[in-house]
Chains A and B, each alone.
Chain A
Amino acid sequence: MSASQSAWVQGRVWMVLSLVIVCIAAAVGLARVYGVTKPVIDQQKIDAVNQALAAVLPGTDHFEEQVPGELWYGFDAQDVRTGAVVRVAPRGYAGPVETLAGVGLDGLVTGIVITSLKETPGLGLKATQAWFRDQFRGKPAAELKLDKDGGTLDAISAATITSRAVTNGVREGIEKYLDRLLPAQPGMSDTTGDE
């Protein structure tokens, strides 16, 4: 206890009042900091998403969110569709492996990027390395399978679970939205007419 405290500091009224004052001061201070940092934080989040989107769908000027957090359409500067980006989060070895996959208008993968993962360092974490990522480029969804599953992609050694999660996750994600990834073609809408 500080020796130099006055008697009223130890009283009951001040006990309540001091806590109230500290809380109000803290709240006011935090509100100001929040007001300054909030726009910056929001902008950071938007920038991070846009950067990742642009990385998987080259030549795109801006994106339009179709299904929140799952599907984006990309457009170039002249507002012409360049393709779409699908976000998937398949279960890896130690948690979801959040992955963005770009698909061009020809239905071929334009690139993938892993935005968040908790895999084992030195093993599953190697999924972010360029050689693994680059294998996806230029392939149709149906061909996205590991070599040991009858496909053509090399798995990361000693990290089959992670490799398979990313590969199958991207394939299934693209197949889920396949009808929306490609621009509507004339005649396509008629196919359901007879049923």
Chain B
Amino acid sequence: MNKKPSRLSYFTSGIVVENPVLILMIGLCPTLATTVSARDGFGMGLAASFVLIASNVVVSLVRRFVPNSIRIPIFIIIISTFVTIIDYVLQAYQPSLYKVLGVFVPLIVVNCIILGRAEAFAYHHGVWDSFLDGLGKALGFTLALGVMGIIRELLSAGTVFGFAVTPAGFRESPVLFMIFAPGAFLLIGILKSIVNRLTAKKEEKA
């Protein structure tokens, strides 16, 4: 057996080096649409995280019994089962969050991060490694969405998680632009350039 990448790196790579949103640039649709506030961003991130981790583990568990030729339909059934579970659970216990996230909860099924990890990682790795990989990517996704949600809520409403953190004058006439789609594009561009800068420096040193 060749030298394997360390287990820890499966977990940590998802957070920065292979951050799904800011480096791999996948799963952008829910990222742009649901990060209008900190709570919505984190809520979406956590919902997708549950599906990502659970589907990674299950795909890894059954991988020896999944024929290569029909693996994609099987992955999709596994993923959509977990999406439906989180859909029911949010509806039952977090109805206000469910109302805001709306159609983006069922759309987690087609989030390319999740199918991507099932196909590229969990189908070829053990359960524990797949769990770590899912956890890392999930954390990276949730952090990216959460940070975007915090910044957009701060600028467009003057609050963070609904708490007023800016002077009343700012909250009266905030940067409304940030709550709309163009604000999301602008912000993700800025974040991407910051991350690029940071990772470029790292490479130079190395």
Contacts and interface: CB of A to CB of B under 8 A. Distances in A.
A121 B92 contact: no
B163 interface: no
B74 A9 contact: no
Contact of A26 (B36, B78, B88): B78
Interface residues of B, number: 31
Contacts of B93: 40
Contacts of B156: 121
Interface string A18-49: 11001100100110011001101100100010
B124 interface: yes
Nearest to B99: A116
B64 interface: yes
Interface residues of A, number: 27
Nearest to B174: A122
B69 A23 contact: no
The B interface, classified by DSSP as helix, strand, loop or mixed, is helix
B91 to A, nearest CB: 5
A11 B68 CA distance: 10
A5 interface: yes
Nearest to A14: B67
Contacts, number: 73
A121 B92 CA distance: 27
Contact of A15 (B67, B123, B179): B67
A80 interface: no
Contacts of B63: 2
A19 B73 contact: yes
A37 B66 contact: no
Contacts of B182: none
A121 B91 contact: no
A18 B68 CA distance: 11
A122 B67 contact: no
Nearest to B179: A121
B64 A4 contact: yes
B77 A22 contact: yes
Contact of B64 (A5, A26, A44): A5
14 contacts: A2-B63, A2-B123, A2-B124, A6-B64, A9-B64, A10-B69, A15-B69, A22-B62, A23-B77, A33-B88, A34-B88, A40-B93, A121-B156, A121-B176
Interface of B: 36, 62-70, 73-74, 77-78, 80-81, 84-85, 88-89, 91-93, 95, 123-124, 156, 174, 176, 179-180
